[in-house]
Structure 1
């Protein structure tokens, strides 16, 4: 099953690495954006099944704020990926409904498991 994934990541090299890894796992990367504002535009204009989102982004919105807006209007599941795993960040993430959380760095097995869990496949 091909899954259309939007990568929301402000670090270009990390975004390209994620794209390669997702492609090697058989998924389709529909786009890469660096800000919450760009993510909101992308979900309006594309068929997205899943979002892989960093917490810290360029622009006015962080990943959690962006996820709340996306869930409200589009109900697209989100996998957060961040180097932050402190309790304050985790508490903020719990404000969103449909999510998984990966702590950077993570391997392809953890990435695929998170995709399977969130999409229930």
Structure 2
């Protein structure tokens, strides 16, 4: 099991690229929280608990096939349990095979080898039309 927040995050990326969303969700603490401050109407802004996060991520995995993270920068912070991540993900919207290309900034806290708080500042304006239709946004 990864021991630092950076290692844990890199393991999460590996799992997403392997299309293993279930194991990605298992990286969260039982009482972990995922937040999406810029989520548009129809998308959750806060998901609490590993079970709920797993359900949310399963829906994501059914709609997006990640192919690469061509830009990934992890910034360590003065708080050893917190990192800030800049990344870009590419892939395909599974319903239409349309390209998916999204940039993110995330503020992540991890303790005892699990994500405890994952605040994801994704840009809802970058959601491809095909994906919006698939998830009902």
Identify the structure with the greater strand proportion.
2
Identify the structure with the greater helix proportion.
1
**Larger RCO (alpha carbons 8 Å, 6+ apart):** 2
- TM-score higher than 0.5 here? no
Larger Rg: 2
